[in-house]
Structure 1
């Protein structure tokens, strides 16, 4: 078995111009290195500010093995803290979310901290007089994540001091968030409708690259689309469709449709699939809402927002955005062969309820563990994870439409079935793995 620790040269060799080594999906050692380096040097999505509307509200989660807290402060700001007591390291909260009141209290020895992590009180305080506690890190309170960015209420962190600034890292792909937020005439979204969670027994990169795979729907989801087509058969072509039909029938569009939708890559692994149109482009029009959008944003900007409905926009490595419907998927790696996928829906302030209904309907239809679409993908993801252990071929092909000229271009528009969007992710993986490993050497 290859040993990759302290060998950034070997890690870099796993990603070639048009293929990647199967160890990227199978190796627990590489997964540990990803946790230490890739997810530390890149910007990772934490949560949405609307999840913590009131002072003391918190969301707890693990990012790259580090327990974190997203907390609403008394002054209205949001802050990300490491979820550990400065005393013995106990996690201060174990609930997924809640309200801590005006302070955090450790369940072990009752040390307390203000909402910003500053120390508040400790039992038996006199026992620490004359000791080195105040000069020690333990006396400074909870530790805040230094590198945090809030972009239109979407909260991201970079855990390492090594890595690019937020705006430099995401660049133009932040327009995907703008497109979704600006579907609200008031320019504001709130999380609504709960969350769908699914643990898939596959590597996280497998799921993320599938988001940009437009060739699989015709075969993978054939049974689901055929069933929908059979139910819809006999209706006029221009007949109004129920929402579920409106959302699932386009999955059966042919290769030509998906190829012509187009895709675009950006530096650092980001991409937009469906730059021309997508399976979301044919949703029923809403004249009153569209008029409100023109009033709020102006005719030109409103048209740009509403006519642009990308299939998927990937903010590498943790977030996939669908402007319409207003939904996101969050990728949370748990192990080399285990990934948590979260699907969230948003309510657009000032917009009709049907927009939220579309988001929730789509998430249930496509991303729910019990959906007629997701079970196809999950079966294949887990099958791939097992099949890659077979001997005789150590490589995974990413050859489709490869052009050596693409290696010199960090931003490029291409056809929708080009595996360039996947190759772009793996090139970013190699770059940031090397950056983290070299900084730690």
Structure 2
């Protein structure tokens, strides 16, 4: 299957995109090859495979993979497929394979790096082309695997930039998440939420930096939070984080939106970082970081106030509340979102408890906030299947974006700069290089 470059180019304008990018199954399949088959994609965190033999299953686009801790302590990522009959070697989830992979179908075994180890009754394979030294008889490794401060990424392509170059400015959000630990390390903890959304994967990325939707889409939860606070005579944390979506447009207009290469970027935080030395939990955190780094560095770390960071193709780290929303495409109109929660090693227990509260109130399937988003994502998917129009508008503050050393920054916090940047990257990924050379 191939879609000509001319068609790909025609789907993306400077100020909008054609609805086919969300609804066409052939485009989705091409995305799995040209975006998820090329880019660095988040697989999981090293803390999910602490001991030799521990594994964590994941997906890169439409490919099932396994991240495993090898006996030498290194992280390996292999496709979840036995070369004999093609069976998935391990079930989805987390566990331990012990000293080797063992296929549940016929008992073929493989080393932690996927290399063929043994097959039962090898006499029956003599005088055939079977050769355990050939790659065809091993679990296939992904061409490139790299970790950044414990966050493991893999690429299905042998070509392209290294991981740090690919992440560009988005790497600073991972740095800040880790630096919030007094020893600079984090680990996945507290369980994982999983939500299947009835929408295309790209809609979630756009919404992460869509400041115009908050007071409209989340009106019901904002009204509920304010009503409850009025009855209580106070605004506890659980209500504060719900009520934050109800700020007037003037508030959102002042926020900074930053766009980096490859579709990455961040949205400035919506909660006051000066509270780092006021409320009890933040103050306790500040004291712990001050003891580790000094007060000035502690203020710098806690003062980096980012609400949502986008690592295009992987998901969204949230540094303040210690989570990573991992975005996995399933089909053209189905997307799996996995919310991983991180513990800051040696930080006060209250900091992790607050992060768990945020995850449950804002990101759980039963929260009062996430269902608002899930509903409008589905409505976008359904609406784009009608004949009501062909183009998606991304006009807000177009032409006002400011170039900076490492990317672009918005003139106004309600700009659709992030969406335009994401689709500029989408088009670069999707254009077939060989076809482009033929055209030239």
Would the TM-score normalized by the shorter structure come out above 0.5? yes
Matched, 1:252 2:246: yes
Residues 153 and 215 (structure 1 numbering): CA distance in 2 closer, same or farther, change over 3 Å? same
TM-score, normalising length from structure 1? Answer: 0.93
Q: Relative to structure 2, which stretch is displaced further, 162-171 or 319-328?
A: 162-171
How many residues end up aligned between the 2 structures? 432
Structure 1 residue matching 2:301: 3-state secondary structure: helix
Counterpart pick for 2:85 among 70, 85, 88: 88
Instruction: Point out where structure 1 has 5 or more consecutive residues left out of the alignment.
Output: none
Counterpart pick for 1:180 among 177, 181, 184: 177
> What do the CA deviations read for 1:108-167 (whole angstroms, capped 9, x no partner)?
22111111212211111123334322264333x221112111111101111122332212
| Contact preservation (8 Å) 1:251, 1:279 | no
Name the residue aligned to 1:366.
362
Give the CA deviation at 1:280.
6.2
| Contact preservation (8 Å) 1:337, 1:385 | yes
Give the CA deviation at 1:337.
0.5
Matched, 1:418 2:410: no
Instruction: Point out where structure 2 has 5 or more consecutive residues left out of the alignment.
Output: none
Give the CA deviation at 1:302.
1.7
d(CA) in 1 for partners of 2:59, 2:370? 25
After superposition, residues 318-357 of structure 1 pair within 5 angstroms as 318-357=314-353
Residues 380 and 202 (structure 1 numbering): CA distance in 2 closer, same or farther, change over 3 Å? same
Give the CA deviation at 1:234.
6.7
TM-score, normalising length from structure 2? Answer: 0.93
Structure 1 residue matching 2:419: 3-state secondary structure: helix
> What do the CA deviations read for 1:52-103 (whole angstroms, capped 9, x no partner)?
1111111112322212000011122211011111222211112311111111
Give the CA deviation at 1:440.
12
d(CA) in 2 for partners of 1:100, 1:154? 21
Counterpart pick for 1:222 among 216, 219, 223: 219
Name the residue aligned to 2:270.
278
Name the residue aligned to 2:286.
290
Q: Relative to structure 2, which stretch is displaced further, 38-47 or 384-393?
A: 384-393
Give the CA deviation at 1:298.
3.1
d(CA) in 2 for partners of 1:342, 1:296? 32
d(CA) in 1 for partners of 2:324, 2:102? 33
After superposition, residues 1-400 of structure 1 pair within 5 angstroms as 5-134=2-131, 136-139=134-137, 141-233=138-230, 241-274=235-268, 277-279=269-271, 281=273, 282=275, 284-285=279-280, 286-400=282-396
Q: Relative to structure 2, which stretch is displaced further, 129-138 or 260-269?
A: 129-138
Residues 345 and 72 (structure 1 numbering): CA distance in 2 closer, same or farther, change over 3 Å? same
> Superposition RMSD on alpha carbons, in Å?
2.2
